[in-house]
Structure 1
């Protein structure tokens, strides 16, 4: 079996994790989350989503260090639970993250050229795929540049908006209840799920037993701090009602703060941020596709590795083709809900697999308790998402399960 090249160290892995997360939460998810949870509910939902993500990150890092190959929970589920658990995780990841890729591509189009959003989205998918086909080293380098630009833009928004934050907007009571907070947390989880990209690139990481457990929590912690800062600024400047109705909340922050001339910078930063997310998302989905194809859970032809660039080129091209199709038919907010539902199921399986690991000597974290909490948290957030997202997500997962059952009956 052809192997991928191990080229990524801790800094590269952290950058890919940052590039996978930064953008989605700040530029896409805050508005629907505010609509679901209200003002104080938004901050509570963000903290809850971050905690569930931390539980998942701990489980992912432990499993990736033990099984350092491409595929993430698809591999962990097969090795530690049952082949069907691995298939279910892989299927959930591929379909959920394909929807995420489409949502990110459409967001790029909406910011750069609203009148031709789908055309721009297709061009973005093709361009990002071309970068990924050049090798994971090129992916890490491109992501590093994108992350730097995005951090600079977000810092400008925070500095400009901070003086306009009003305490009454942050403390305004929300009457949407616990269900609203859970719904918002499920949507906001969409913004954290990128840390798993480090695990899905496990076969391309140097010294995975050391690199992955360090890179995952560092990337997640940095993003959580950034999200909390921008959530406070955005909510404190706009208020919950205005934030919920906004299509570009960070643009409205700088405009409300008296700096409308910075709107173009924020729009450009949004496009760059989401491009970074798309770059890493496509890389992660193709690696899981590669792992599934190696075990014949997807067509075996997708397991090919390019002889020169050492990347799963057929899987990359196949994923890109599906994303372009979804872009032509899809809707951003529906894609986010669908993706959150299926990816939460993916992480539920991650935590279930982590429960089979023995605690490592010297670890201070209660890793088994975190895995059990993460498992329960993922399922709770998944079923509290908007009903259409839940129905669509579980319908597609059921189709995959039926296909698995039919294929194995035919083989038997």
Structure 2
């Protein structure tokens, strides 16, 4: 049974923004400043360029293959089932780690010490329930959360930049080439949400026209927001941001506006929930697509007759995310997520490069730059994240090899 086409351009753009303007804007600055130092803005630009190249590849593929599953489906069609599996598996494992990071960031801002893990678990369960009631409700809730997030970030940027001339930030550490690339790899975590639009291709109205426009609009809006926030953090905190657990709250404190700290907490909570909601939705659709092709258990391919959602996949993903929240660390989750997502986009660029004739909407040079950028950034990530990510990807490959052999 196909999914129903109910999402408009506004819905798709909101889901993309909700995925990008989420926990990353509140949690990624500390590790990024710690490794990139004075090269933070350069790292952000590099991450944005790689994200743009990847976005054009995703948009070009989605226009021709408007089905659920994103690059999993595109790579299967363009370069073969094995590449599709690796893309889909990388997406699922990377984004499940992202979900855990979003839930933990929400709890860090919304709950007192001692209650953060239960609150993070409750957030995952509540949003999984929202997803199970249909994608239009998901889009509506995401719109509301995105508006709340943008209003709160506007307050932080206005106060921070308005009083930056009176601030005395700690000098940033000196930048190194490796540090800047590692910072770009971590910052890429914050830009990867536009893929959520493509994974919902089977539910978008007029997908060949809507999906490419929504991807560009969502990414463009996120780049502007992240540049403004990065300049604010550098101008007010400088190197002190590397040791901060709540950089944007510290921006207000350093400028004499600590009374507005609750605004940041509410904004962070709303943004984290918006990103978590959109992520759970996207992973569910990729899981559905993989289950249809028997790359994941077939019982996950069931679509609820009434709500038109892959309810079994949504519930299983929520259970796994809850398990990770109970044992994981936020910074490790960010690095592991970036590893999986960069591999996913590497394959997306390869698939888009293979397209010819009327399917081509962008120069192949963009796909070459995107693929090289993914390779460069994935090799600059923290060593532990790369080792664990490689092991999990190989585990998935081994499981598929065994399944294929048993099937034969």
- Does the TM-score normalized on the shorter chain lie above 0.5? yes
Deviations 1:210-267 (A, max 9, x none): 001111011100100010001001110001x201000000001111111111001111
Aligned partners of 1:167 and 1:236 also within 8 Å: no
Question: Within 1, Cα distance between the matches of 2:168 and 2:373?
Answer: 29
State the SS of the aligned residue for 1:5.
coil
Q: Which residue of 2 aligns with 1:154?
A: 153
User: Which residue of the other structure, out of 390, 393, 403, is the alignment partner of 2:389?
Assistant: 393
Q: Which residue of 1 aligns with 2:59?
A: 61
Question: Within 2, Cα distance between the matches of 1:244 and 1:115?
Answer: 24
Question: Within 2, Cα distance between the matches of 1:150 and 1:291?
Answer: 31
Deviations 1:81-127 (A, max 9, x none): 11110000110011110011011111111111132111001100011
Q: Which residue of 1 aligns with 2:334?
A: 336
* 1:169 CA drift (Å): 7.8
User: Which residue of the other structure, out of 97, 100, 103, is the alignment partner of 2:101?
Assistant: 103
Question: Within 2, Cα distance between the matches of 1:359 and 1:55?
Answer: 19
State the SS of the aligned residue for 2:28.
helix
State the SS of the aligned residue for 2:356.
coil
Question: Within 1, Cα distance between the matches of 2:169 and 2:188?
Answer: 21
* 1:268 CA drift (Å): 1.1
* 1:24 CA drift (Å): 2.8
Aligned partners of 1:170 and 1:232 also within 8 Å: no
Deviations 1:127-155 (A, max 9, x none): 10111111110001000100111111000
* 1:391 CA drift (Å): 0.6
User: How many equivalent pairs are there?
Assistant: 407
Q: Please list, as runs of the form range in 1=range in 2, the aligned pairs for 1:176-325 lying within 5 A after superposition.
A: 176-239=175-238, 241-325=239-323
User: Which residue of the other structure, out of 375, 381, 400, is the alignment partner of 1:379?
Assistant: 375
Question: Within 2, Cα distance between the matches of 1:166 and 1:390?
Answer: 40
Change (3 A) 1:245 1:204: same
Change (3 A) 1:173 1:156: closer
Aligned partners of 2:170 and 2:237 also within 8 Å: no
* 1:278 CA drift (Å): 0.2
Aligned partners of 2:23 and 2:105 also within 8 Å: no
Q: Which residue of 2 aligns with 1:125?
A: 124
- TM-score by length of structure 2 reads 0.97
* 1:408 and 2:404 aligned: yes
* 1:165 CA drift (Å): 2.4
Change (3 A) 1:398 1:169: farther
Q: Which residue of 1 aligns with 2:352?
A: 354
Aligned partners of 1:169 and 1:235 also within 8 Å: no
* 1:164 and 2:163 aligned: yes
Change (3 A) 1:383 1:169: farther
Q: Please list, as runs of the form range in 1=range in 2, the aligned pairs for 1:16-95 lying within 5 A after superposition.
A: 16-39=15-38, 41-95=39-93
State the SS of the aligned residue for 1:71.
coil
* 1:280 CA drift (Å): 0.2
Q: CA RMSD in A?
A: 1.6
Question: Within 2, Cα distance between the matches of 1:411 and 1:176?
Answer: 53
* 1:362 CA drift (Å): 9.5
Deviations 1:283-316 (A, max 9, x none): 0001000000001000100001011110000000
Aligned partners of 2:70 and 2:198 also within 8 Å: yes
Question: Within 2, Cα distance between the matches of 1:381 and 1:117?
Answer: 32
- TM-score by length of structure 1 reads 0.96
Aligned partners of 1:14 and 1:215 also within 8 Å: yes
* 1:49 CA drift (Å): 0.3
Structure 2, unmatched stretches of 5+, are none
Structure 1, unmatched stretches of 5+, are none
Change (3 A) 1:282 1:410: same
Change (3 A) 1:18 1:180: same
